[in-house]
């Protein structure tokens, strides 16, 4: 019973203990990452807006959600 607990403790210590990073991330790289994340979210929102009628028709059980009534 002690072996699994010891293994979990060692794994936890390996994951939690920070390793020295010999790297530098400049502010431009950080802003590019933020821009990519925001662009992806904006694209997802546009996709949902475009497909809104189909999505709502799927929830309502409509067989032809793209037709106008």
Q: Is residue 1 part of a domain?
A: no
pLDDT band at 20 (very low <50, low <70, confident <90, very high): confident
Least confident of 2-6, 11-15, 33-37, 65-69: 65-69
Packed helices 52-60 and 27-50: angle between N→C axes, nearest 10 degrees: 60
Q: Is residue 10 part of a domain?
A: no
Domain span at residue 49? 29-69
Q: Is residue 69 part of a domain?
A: yes
Torsion of the alpha carbons at 20, 23, 29 and 35, rounded to the nearest 10: -30
- Quick: pLDDT tens for 39-54: 999 999 999 998 988 8
- Burial of residue 62 (number of CB atoms within 10 Å: 0-12, 13-18, 19+): middle
Count up the domains in the chain and report the number.
Answer: 1
């Amino acid at each position: 019973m002690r072996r699994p607990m010891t293994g979990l403790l060692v794994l936890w210590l390996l994951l939690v203990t920070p390793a020295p990073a010999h790297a530098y991330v400049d502010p431009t790289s950080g802003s590019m990452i933020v821009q990519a994340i925001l662009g992806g979210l904006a694209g997802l929102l546009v996709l949902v807006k475009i497909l809104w009628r189909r999505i709502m028709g799927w929830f309502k059980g409509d067989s032809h959600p793209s037709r106008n009534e």
